[in-house]
Amino acid sequence: MTELSDSPFSEFVGKHPGEPNVMEPGLISDPFAGYGALREQGPVVRGRFVDDTPVWFITRFEEAREVLRDQRFANSPAHSAGGGNADTPVDRLLEIMGLPEHYRVYLSGTILNMDAPDHTRIRRLVSRAFTARKITDLRPRVADIADDVLRRLPEHAVDGVVDLIPHFAYPLPITVICELVGIPEADRPKWREWGTHLVSTRPELHPETFPEMIDHIHALIRERRAALTDDLLSELIRVHDDDGSRLSDVEMVTLVLTLVLAGHETTAHLITNGVAALLTHPDQLQLLKSEPELLPRAVHELMRWCGPVHLTQLRYATEDVELGGVRIKKGEAVTPVLVSANHDPRHFADPARLDLTRQPAGRAENHVGFGHGMHYCLGASLARQEAEVAFGKLLAHYPDVSLAVAPEDLRRVPLPGSWRLASLPLRLS
Ligand code: HEM
């Protein structure tokens, strides 16, 4: 595994005393305690992003939600101090990976970097292709894929132990999202590899990854244009607004890239974190086994308790904003810290306790693990459905499944902004 100290970003750690960098060992090794301590310092705390960008951490639940729905914060780096001429994380990534300038548009043009009205237009178009109906209709297929992968799980056991991550947690969501989008089976292992290269602290080690992905999607779009089917890619080609506006090729490429990467990397780690949480909380596991109808609520609680995404995309203040007793100046960056918001004792009673019966207060979803506001996760219902199927089917196939190592020996991937286990060794019976 790559170590943080090898990362080209590690030079920034500790450079500004009193302004913790997201790569700080304390924030990486125990984000619950690390960001929890910042949350108790205040709702808006000064820190640094991986590339040394000054950032305000929004640490508490109410303030995090406020920022996520406040139109005075924009996602486009054009609003960063310096009006887009300053170094942004995208500039840094281009530089580190040694990518030619024309790739900038794919990196900076994702839906997560957009503001209204562009964001509204793209989100409306993609929502026409990615409908709730499509997700619901998919459920039996998700269950079939899970059955299939789970049946083959024992084939991967070594001395009776199998790692859930490569043999179930990844194959399920990657198969689902690739089938949905229309990525041929033969290309799926490549996507798995590309995902791992990009979501790493050493993206510069694989400079070929990004150009390969872009070329691959362009080729796929050309192919599909020639013969439309009923997959999401065909739907994205077909959809248009009432005024006839369509998605451009570049928009489609960045969308497919975001959907496939966001659609499997995160879900795989929700499945892994969730299974680890259940196996280390035998009373909760027992409860779920005896009351399987708790599954949807259990998934909400597991998302709150051990959701895989800890930090959102950076936002930039488009004017001076007073928040939590702090003046955030125009152009300054903020990031709502989902992990500390979801464990904020001001909002959740006894937040460290995993309680699958926890009643969401008034809303179906009472956490910010999928974000909030206009960039709320587009795939949240798909991810929840996959997690429900994954937990339900794993326990149905292997009711006696248990951890093959002591809980304290579970190792995490040392990445800022996310919670990922390096492996999840299990005994199936
Ligand atoms: C946005 C988390 C699964 C596609 C987001 C955001 C979060 C998130 C926190 C908002 C980020 C921000 O505001 O800065 C997760 C988690 C998942 C998951 C924890 C799994 C457990 C998925 C899936 C898909 C997906 C399965 C697609 C199939 C997207 C897209 C956006 C997004 C396209 C951007 C939406 C926009 O900008 O309007 N996700 N996600 N996600 N997610 Fe997910």
Task: Quote the CA–CA distance of 236 and 41 in Å, as a whole number.
Answer: 46
pLDDT in tens, 348-398: 999 999 999 987 655 556 899 999 999 999 999 999 999 999 999 999 999
Q: Which fold has domain 4-427?
A: Cytochrome p450 (1.10.630)
271 or 211: which leads in pLDDT: 271
Name every protein residue with a CB atom under 6 angstroms from any ligand 1 atom: 111-112, 123, 177, 258-259, 262-263, 266-267, 270, 307-309, 312-313, 369-371, 375, 377-379, 382-383
- Cα 110 to middle of ligand 1, angstroms: 12
- Cα 259 to middle of ligand 1, angstroms: 8
What would the mean pLDDT of 231-244 be, rounded to a whole number? 84
Closest ligand 1 atom to Cα of 112: 37
Q: Is 379 helix (H, G, I), strand (E, B) or coil?
A: coil
Burial of 212 (0-12, 13-18, 19+ CB in 10 A): middle
From 43-57, 239-253, 355-369, the region with the lowest mean pLDDT: 355-369
Q: Whose CA is nearest to atom 11 of ligand 1?
A: 312
Residues 6+ apart with CB under 8 A from 250: 105, 106, 109
104 pLDDT higher than 90: no
83 pLDDT higher than 80: no
Residue 123: what pLDDT?
Answer: 93
Q: Whose CA is nearest to atom 38 of ligand 1?
A: 375
Whether 413 and 2 have beta carbons less than 8 Å apart is answered as: no
